[in-house]
Amino acid sequence: MAAQEKNMQEIEKAKKLNHVPWGEEYEKMISGMLYDSWTRDLTAARFKARAFANKYNTWFPPASTDPATGFDVLAAERAKMLKEVIGHLGDDIFIEPPFNIDYGCNISIGDRFFANFNLTILDCSLVTIGARCMFGPNVSIFAATHETEVQSRRDNIEYGRPVVVGDDCWIGGNVVILPGVTIGRGVGGGCDRFVVVDRGGRKQQGLARLQYHYQQGPAKNVWRAQAI
């Protein structure tokens, strides 16, 4: 269910991010309220994100580049492009293309982050990824959702929920993290899963526990991590 009022805590977090398209609908969007995604400011921000993706996913050093230094050239140029669109970017970030986003400005990534091929982040709400995280190929983070009632979808009305991935997490290939999920620090998990509920890293639990939904079959606990 969508929120009924603005979330000032999320708005304050967004004030620390770069490239934000501030406006009434943007504030409603990151607050989890129903909002119109087709306002001029939001469509312009998504267009910028798609222009970024087109460049990022196709750029490669010229053929004349020395193979011995080519990877350094590639990493440096990719980092430069990421800083032009991502809300907050730590040091030592490497994301293999293709990499696709809705806005980019709502994404915060800590230091020493690696993502393998085909990371997708629908950042219609704030998406926070901690330090020293690793993502396998085809990971998807969906902070966007819709009402189940048909009319609001016909009216292009939607809402979002924030997603948080704590420090030192490993997210395996083909994992889908759904709106509103928080994954605590130090959690790791296997492939082909849907993360639908908050899991892991809570101080009061002692052990980090991650629960997934299998694509077919009921939810079950599949992994436990040492407390850190």
Query: Which residues are tagged catalytic?
Result: 146
> CA 159, CA 57: separation in Å to the nearest integer?
28
Q: Collapsing DSSP states into helix, strand and coil, what is residue 81?
A: helix
Tell me if 95 sits within 8 A of 115, measured CB to CB: yes
Burial 68-83, CB ≥16 within 10 A → b, else e? eeeeeeeeeebeebbe
Taking alpha carbons only, the member of 227, 112, 91, 115 closest to residue 177 is: 115
> CA 14, CA 68: separation in Å to the nearest integer?
40
> CA 153, CA 155: separation in Å to the nearest integer?
5
**Which residues make Cβ contacts (< 8 Å) with residue 137, sequence separation at least 6?**
96, 116, 117, 118, 173, 174
